[in-house]
């Protein structure tokens, strides 16, 4: 039924702070800013990162944190670069969860509005192959 992913939208209190995360951690580029105009429900910005459309809209933060998350694929060297960027921005990194060899490594961090992000250096095929052993 679906053809693929259209876009991801994150509602955040501060568009500029979230912009830094998308640009500095995810390697995204801003492609649109509504400025003071409101075409949707609030001011917004659009980014392109890794071929994905990421939208951020101004609004209230999530009330709490959970393990619900979005995971972006990265290479092992990119994982270490991202770890440095996450630390530089003062974002809260979660300790890594236990993993089995061959599953791929991950970096988990929360943004300023309680969204959990995962940067993962692995694929579904690799994980299934490992779990099948």
- State the Cα–Cα distance between residues 70 and 27, nearest whole angstrom: 16
Please write the tens of the pLDDT for every residue from 31-67. 999 998 888 889 999 999 999 999 999 999 999 999 9
Query: For residue 89, is it within any domain?
Result: yes
Query: For residue 2, is it within any domain?
Result: no
User: Which domain, by its residues, includes 127?
Assistant: 8-132
List all residues 6 or more positions away from 51 whose beta carbon is below 8 Å from its beta carbon.
none
Query: For residue 27, is it within any domain?
Result: yes
Split into its structural domains, the chain has a count of 1
**Pair of tokens at residue 36:** 């003071």
Query: For residue 1, is it within any domain?
Result: no
CATH number for the domain spanning 16: value is 3.10.180.10
List all residues 6 or more positions away from 132 whose beta carbon is below 8 Å from its beta carbon.
none
Query: For residue 38, is it within any domain?
Result: yes
Query: For residue 93, is it within any domain?
Result: yes
Query: Model's pTM, two decimal places?
Result: 0.90
Is position 36 annotated as part of the catalytic site?
no
Please write the tens of the pLDDT for every residue from 9-23. 999 999 999 999 999
**Catalytic residue selected from 3, 16, 30, 44:** 44
């Amino acid at each position: 039924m679906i053809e693929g992913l259209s876009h991801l939208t994150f509602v955040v209190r501060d568009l500029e702070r979230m912009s830094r995360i998308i640009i500095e951690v995810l390697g995204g580029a801003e492609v649109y800013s509504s400025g003071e105009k409101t075409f949707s429900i609030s001011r917004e910005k659009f980014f392109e990162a890794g071929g994905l459309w990421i939208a951020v809209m101004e609004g209230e933060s999530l009330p709490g944190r959970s393990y619900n998350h979005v995971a972006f694929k990265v290479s092992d060297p990119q994982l270490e670069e991202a770890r440095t960027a996450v630390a530089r921005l003062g974002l809260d990194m979660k300790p890594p969860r236990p993993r089995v060899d061959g599953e791929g490594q991950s970096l988990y961090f929360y943004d300023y509005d309680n969204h959990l992000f995962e940067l993962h250096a692995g694929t579904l095929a690799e994980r299934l192959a490992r779990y099948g052993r």
